[in-house]
Amino acid sequence: MSYSFTLNNGVCFPAVGFGTYRTQEGGPQVIETAVRCGYRYFDTASYYGNEEMVGRALSQSGLPRDEFFLASKVWKTEMSFRQTREAFYASLNRLGTDYLDLYLIHWPRPDLTSDWKQLDLDTWKVLEELYAAGKVRAIGVSNFLPHHLENILEHCQVKPAVNQVELHPGYCQTAVRDLCRQQNILVQAWSPMGRARLLDDPVICRLAAQYGVSPAQICLRFLLQLGVMPLPKASSEERMRQNLDLFSFSLASSDLKALLSIPCTGWSHLDPDAV
């Protein structure tokens, strides 16, 4: 892809990534098709249980490793100074690579009783060491709300480059976006179409007809114009290609406002401060 985001450490990522959550249900051909369609950024996690499949599919693509951008995450039960390092190298082994392009803390707290602030800092310290050692090109967090992120920012040596959160029309995460913009942290959006619930939304369908694109393309273009990197997933080649075709049109400011005004729709109800 010729469109990209530049992180606060100078690393460039493609403007659109491919989310791999539950892609193992479709088998490695899902990843193979995504590569053929032009995706080069793949987002996975130890929790997804598909790192081995993703790594094998990319390896068998015939393209060199440095053409791909691989991101993974450390899960709640793997956090701590000791366990995070082990989890990272286990992910490397499953993915069949000797480095990652991005490594994230998947959630800010594993439960409601532990000292999550210190646990996050201990885990972040490991990410900083892996970054300094050149084992990962950028480090960041996932599902961190402002109060979680501020804890890291107050104590870190290396500022997070990314915060990956649920974000889509109907769930715009204004406070998260504002803080990340102030701190030059790239926001990535998982569930960028609100678990497909937005594809029948009347505002989105009206705009799709107006611009001659799909409802999914409206959702993804909306995120790009907010400065957010979307991580769509799809199983069909047609939809994969549609989700990359986002640069031939631009939403008018009035249409952006209309999308920002959609009431809460498609939220997963996954709360970073809940069990």
Question: Of the listed 39, 41, 48, 171, which one is catalytic?
Answer: 48
**CA geometry: angle at 75 spanning 70 and 81, to 5°?**
100
238: enclosing H helix or E strand = helix 237-244
Contact indicator for 191, 37 with CB cutoff of 8 Å: no
On the 0-12 / 13-18 / 19+ scale of CB atoms within 10 A, 80 is: middle
User: Annotated catalytic, 3?
Assistant: no
Closest CA to 245 of 211, 204, 269: 211
Contact indicator for 7, 13 with CB cutoff of 8 Å: yes
Distance CA 245, CA 248 (A): 7
Structure-token match 């995504």, residue found: 34
Q: Sign (positive/negative) of CA torsion 135, 139, 143, 147?
A: positive
| Phi and psi torsions of 178, nearest 5° | -65, -45
71: enclosing H helix or E strand = strand 69-74
Residues acting as catalytic residues: 48
